């Protein structure tokens, strides 16, 4: 958990190396996405701890704290990072509002914007698998068992219905590949 939090912090501050305490305090105060991500990481940690023989001694008093923080964050910022989602280190929520991430797997160093919906299709068990370094722009919907490969860039308002190969720029509803070998490093 702590390595993921460290990677998330470095990603949000956009630096590598030493971080001053004031930077972390500013991040905790001003970044709604980072606050919700910390709550998500705390919930995942509680889920892992409860599997140990005496983990319930930690989980019983801390779970109500997690639940209350999660509900408050969902109501205040309209960001729902469900515990069924597997989010790797370096995740960055650029803007809050209307974000729903559930039952999917997200690789490292991914960025999402507001009004992004990720999850399984109606009645399906599995959701999308998002690769490393994927940029997902505002109002994107991925409600299918699809795979978005590493380095893909998904434009605003796109509805993903099929697998997306590496380093592609994808736009439209339904989605279509606009450019191959697209470099999204300036967005990450």
Q: Which one of 20, 80, 95, 139 is the catalytic residue?
A: 95
Q: Is 80 a catalytic residue?
A: no
Q: Distance between CA atoms of 77 and 12, rounded to whole angstroms?
A: 17
Which residues have a catalytic role annotated?
95
């Amino acid at each position: 958990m702590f390595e993921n939090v460290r990677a998330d912090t470095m990603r949000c501050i956009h630096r590598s190396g030493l971080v001053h305490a004031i930077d972390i305090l500013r991040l905790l105060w001003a970044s709604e996405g980072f606050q919700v991500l910390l709550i998500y990481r705390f919930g995942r940690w509680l889920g892992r701890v409860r599997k140990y023989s005496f983990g319930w001694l930690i989980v019983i008093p801390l779970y109500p704290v997690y639940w209350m923080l999660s509900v408050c964050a969902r109501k205040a910022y309209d960001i729902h990072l469900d515990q069924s989602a597997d989010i790797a280190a370096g995740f960055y929520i650029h803007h809050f509002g209307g974000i729903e991430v559930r039952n999917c797997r997200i690789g490292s160093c991914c960025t999402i914007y507001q009004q992004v919906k990720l999850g399984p299709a109606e009645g399906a068990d599995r959701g999308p698998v998002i690769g490393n370094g994927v940029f997902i722009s505002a109002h994107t919907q991925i409600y299918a068992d699809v795979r978005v490969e590493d380095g893909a860039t998904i434009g605003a308002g796109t509805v993903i219905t099929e697998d997306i190969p590496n380093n592609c720029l994808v736009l439209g509803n339904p989605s279509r590949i606009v450019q191959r070998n697209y470099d999204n490093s300036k967005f990450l």
